[in-house]
């Protein structure tokens, strides 16, 4: 596991020596430049060699200073970040080599899920210490794992919450999802081909209640992806990556219904986006503004939750930004998962940090706690 630390400030060159929990970084930071760093990290489970090449651009209409730090080793396709404030830990998954990761106090541990080809989400189960709802392929299972050591957990496959979410769609798999304030999981699916491409329009968006009963909210989707709710939960934000927009719905959380969709944000309206870039995962801050991961675009946007205007643009050191979640003791750290999937050898040489999780600090905003799943009847403490 390795760290690059760099700061962005409009029109400046800055040199820093930083010491943090045994981390010593020599940081060279300059706008519109490459950044090279050296560091020593004590007590790291898997020290790895590292270099980093980053593109720098200042925040629009802002002199804000922020830092982007890779905080994990690389994996194939990191996704689905979830910050657990009880454990002060970040959980996330490796989609195509089904694994759950925990990052706590700078230590990264993992739990492989053997009876699956893919994993979409990991969500703590309310009222339990070490149990998680995981969505693998088309199944919904309970993982028991304390996160302290690698591969020490287990899944009781005989006690699955859902055996087959879409029995009529053999190639479908779970993708992005989150729990609402009532503890139900809103989960999207897609149709995955053997070469890991996606067939349209085979995906759907489901709501799975505390008893494991599922109902369809949306169908005929291609890549059901990022979701978020406004603070009052009267608005629901949703991404189907293939259409490159974010829709906002009227939402009745109590009834588990959405209606009256409107386009809030369209990626193709921005002139400086790679044609291959798509909207992936999203999260929302305490001001009800969205933060958007642009996969194959190497960007994170902050977007006004009311009118879709771009408020901030962050250029990441890797192209495959997959999802986002606020965390940290004060919910002021934005964690960004990334991917190495589909990158050539030459591309990986230019983006060696691909597949790592990054912590972005100094943004001047905070997120809100994510919800746990409220499973009934099948799970003891």
**pLDDT value at 381 more than 60:** no
Identify the CATH number of the domain defined by range 71-327+349-361. Answer: 2.120.10.30
User: Which stretches within 244-341 are classed as H helix?
Assistant: none
State yes or no: 287 annotated in a binding site: no
| Tokens matching residue 301 | 């946007």
> What's the rounded Cα separation, in Å, for the pair 164 and 178?
19
- Neighbouring residues of 53: CB distance < 8 A, sequence distance ≥ 6: 34, 35, 317, 350, 351, 352
Q: Is 143 left (phi over 0), alpha (psi -120 to 50) or beta?
A: beta
Q: Are 239 and 226 in contact (CB under 8 A)?
A: yes
The domain segmentation of the chain, as residue ranges, is: 71-327+349-361
pLDDT more than 90, % of the chain: 77
Q: Which long-range contacts (CB under 8 A, 24 or more apart) does 299-304 make?
A: 299/273, 300/324, 300/334, 300/336, 300/360, 302/363, 302/365, 303/246, 303/264, 303/265
* Percentage of the chain exceeding pLDDT 70: 82
DSSP per residue, 185-249? EEEEEEEE-TTS-EETT-EEEEEE-TTS-EEEEEEEESBEEEEEE-TTS-EEEEEEGGGTEEEEE
Which pLDDT belongs to residue 64?
Answer: 64
Over 90: is that where the pLDDT of 36 sits?
no
pLDDT at 255: 96
Per residue in 131-175, pLDDT (tens digit) is: 999 999 999 999 999 999 999 999 999 999 999 999 999 999 999
- Three-class secondary structure of residue 109 per DSSP: strand
Mean pLDDT, the chain, rounded, equals: 86
Asked if pLDDT for residue 80 goes beyond 60, the answer is yes
Q: Is 79 annotated as ligand-binding?
A: yes
By annotation, the residues acting in catalysis are: 280
Q: What is the mean pLDDT of residues 12-20?
A: 31
| 63: pLDDT strictly greater than 90 | no
**pLDDT on residue 378:** 57
Residue 86, classified by CB atoms within 10 Å of its CB into exposed (0-12), middle (13-18) or buried (19+), is exposed
- Work out the average pLDDT over 169-193: 97
Nearest CA to 177 among 366, 333, 325? Answer: 325
Map residue 289 onto helix, strand or coil.
coil
pLDDT at residue 48 above 60? no
Q: Do the beta carbons of residue 293 and residue 336 sit within 8 Å?
A: yes
Beta partners for residue 326, in sequence order: 334
255 is in an annotated binding site: no
Q: Which pLDDT band holds residue 114 (cuts at 50, 70, 90)?
A: very high
> Does the annotation list 225 as a binding residue?
yes
Query: Residue 123 and residue 138: Cα distance in Å, rounded?
Result: 16
Coil vs helix vs strand at 264: strand
Of 27-31, 93-97, 209-213, 323-327, minimum mean pLDDT range: 27-31
- pLDDT over threshold 60, residue 96: yes
């Amino acid at each position: 596991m390795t760290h690059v630390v760099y700061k962005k400030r409009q029109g400046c060159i800055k040199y820093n020596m930083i010491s943090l929990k045994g981390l010593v970084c020599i940081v060279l930071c300059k706008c519109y430049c490459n950044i090279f760093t050296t560091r020593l990290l004590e007590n790291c489970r898997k020290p790895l060699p590292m270099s980093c090449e980053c593109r720098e651009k200042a925040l629009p209409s802002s002199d804000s200073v922020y830092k982007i730090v890779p905080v994990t080793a690389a994996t194939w396709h990191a996704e689905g970040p979830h910050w657990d404030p009880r454990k002060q830990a970040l959980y996330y998954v490796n989609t195509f080599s089904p694994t759950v990761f925990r990052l706590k106090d700078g230590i990264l541990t993992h739990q492989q899920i053997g009876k699956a080809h893919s994993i979409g989400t990991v969500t703590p189960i309310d009222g339990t210490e070490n149990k998680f709802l995981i969505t693998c392929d088309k199944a919904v299972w309970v993982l028991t794992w304390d996160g302290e050591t690698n591969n020490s957990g287990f899944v009781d496959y005989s006690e699955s919450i859902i055996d087959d979410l879409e029995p009529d769609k053999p190639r479908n798999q779970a993708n992005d999802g989150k729990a609402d304030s009532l503890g139900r999981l809103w989960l999207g699916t897609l149709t995955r081909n053997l070469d890991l491409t996606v067939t349209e329009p085979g995906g759907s968006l489901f709501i799975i209640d505390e008893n494991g009963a599922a109902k369809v909210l949306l169908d005929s989707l291609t890549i059901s992806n990022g979701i978020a709710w406004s603070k009052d939960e009267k608005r629901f934000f949703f991404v189907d990556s293939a259409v490159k927009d974010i829709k906002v719905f009227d939402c009745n959380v109590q009834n588990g219904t959405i209606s009256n969709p409107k386009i809030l944000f369209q990626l193709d309206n921005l002139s400086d986006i790679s044609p291959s870039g798509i909207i992936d995962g999203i999260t929302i801050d305490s001001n009800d503004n969205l933060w958007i991961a642009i996969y194959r675009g190497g960007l994170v946007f902050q977007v006004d939750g009311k009118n879709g205007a771009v408020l901030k643009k962050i250029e990441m050191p890797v192209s495959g930004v997959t999802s986002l979640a606020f965390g940290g003791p004060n919910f002021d750290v934005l964690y960004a998962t990334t991917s190495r999937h589909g990158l050539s050898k030459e591309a990986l040489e230019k983006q060696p940090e691909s597949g790592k999780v990054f912590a972005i600090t100094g943004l001047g905003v905070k997120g809100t706690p994510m919800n746990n799943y409220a499973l009934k009847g099948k799970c003891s403490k």
